[in-house]
Amino acid sequence: MAVSYQELIASAPPDPIVESNRKTTEASLFTGLQRQARASGLLGSRLDYYAWKIPATLALYLSGWAAFMVIGASWWQLLTAVFLGFCYGQVGLLGHDVAHQQVSKNRRVVELLGAFHGDLLLGFSYNWWTNHHNRHHSNPNHLQKDPDILRRRVIFTPEQFEQPMSGARRFIIKFQDKLFFPLLMLESLGLRIISVRVIRQRVVRRVWLEGILLGAHLAIYFTVVFCVLRPWQAVAFVVIHQCSFGLYTGAIFAPNHKGLPVRTDEESLEWFTRQVVTSRNIRGGLLVNMFYGGLNYQIEHHLFPGMPRPNLRRVRPLVISYCREHEIPYYETSVARSYIEVTRHLGRVSREARHRNLSA
């Protein structure tokens, strides 16, 4: 079941990654910023934006498949596969907005739009992903509670290397800074495997609806691809398309928190501060906003998950000023630098983990 915004704010054990010299309580600290955002009209709905964004994204998605049908049986379809990987990523970003109730606060509307974008257009369980993502928002970069850390094959602290694991995973960790982005290409496959599993186990809401829509996506997808293309072309198309989609999706989410402070239950830091110091913003203009779907404003998004995407840019100056006033670190960097920081961090952790293992 999806977690409400109020439940996210009420999430618990925090941590001491930075020192704060304020005596303000957790509730009043965030309330001050929230009051400013509400007074600026930034917490309200943006139906004007989504009224064109949803049709435009659907048109982009359909244009990719229209190009596929026009080109026909040709190896040029591998370029179409890459383009469709981008189209799928854009649909996924819109589904992300839906899940956070940025498009609508009506629960039925949210579930229908989510199932349409997630299960039917993309082929994975919207309900599972929403629950997974909301748990991440409650405990970003928490080693025991953030599912975005728990389901990765790489590690983010040397201590994780001491856990029982397979030889294959130990090999991945040994070269994790070099394998991280290639592994992201498998993200699409992983999402589909998990989706089929949770639907079969009936651990999602509306099992029949999700099962029918996801099954319809897969049936239509493979029928169209293998009917239009020759067998080896079809196989190559599916691989390139799914790898492109996985890499794009992973590239969007990787810079958000990777390489920033991680947390455990032994640490304590109130909700507002832990959301800020475990998140990284990415600088850029309209092109960056479009590519990342507003998630380049990761700090603002974590503070206001329900805030419509176009308002994140506008609330940013308020957040920067507020963090400066309360002496809370606010970090943003360039696109290139963000990926460099992620890979360097993974490399450092890998080297230290291997050194500890040899010294033991």
Q: In the chain, where do the E strands start and end?
A: 281-282, 332-333
pLDDT at 3: 35
pLDDT tens track for 237-271:
999 999 999 999 999 999 999 999 888 877 777 88
pLDDT band at 22 (very low <50, low <70, confident <90, very high): very low
Please give the structure tokens belonging to residue 57.
Answer: 């994204």
CB count within 10 Å of CB 158 equals 18
SS3 139: coil
Query: pLDDT above 70 covers what percent of the chain?
Result: 91
Taking the C-alpha atoms of residue 34 and residue 28, their distance in angstroms, rounded to an integer, is: 10
Distance between the two ends of the chain, CA-based, in angstroms? 44
Instruction: Report domain extents, the chain.
Output: 5-11+25-359
Q: Which residue has the higher pLDDT, 21 or 77?
A: 77
Query: 332 has which bridge partners?
Result: 281
pLDDT score of 186 more than 90: yes
Per-position DSSP letters for 271-311, written without gaps between them: HHHHHHHT--EE---HHHHHHHTTTTSHHHHHH-TTS-HHH
| DSSP conformational letter for 263 | B
Tell me the Ramachandran region of residue 327: left when phi exceeds 0, alpha when psi lies from -120 to 50, beta otherwise: left
CA–CA distances in Å: residue 28 to residues 35, 194, 219, 312, 318 = 10, 39, 51, 21, 16
What integer is the mean pLDDT of 56-68?
98
Question: 350 near 175, Cβ under 8 Å?
Answer: yes
pLDDT score of 25 more than 70: no
Taking the C-alpha atoms of residue 298 and residue 26, their distance in angstroms, rounded to an integer, is: 20
What integer is the mean pLDDT of 185-203?
92
pLDDT at 159: 85
Answer yes or no: pTM beyond 0.75: yes
pLDDT band at 26 (very low <50, low <70, confident <90, very high): low
Burial of residue 21 (CB within 10 Å: 0-12, 13-18, 19+) is: exposed
Q: Going by C-beta distance under 8 Å and a sequence separation of 6 or more, which residues neighbour residue 172?
A: 153, 154, 179, 183
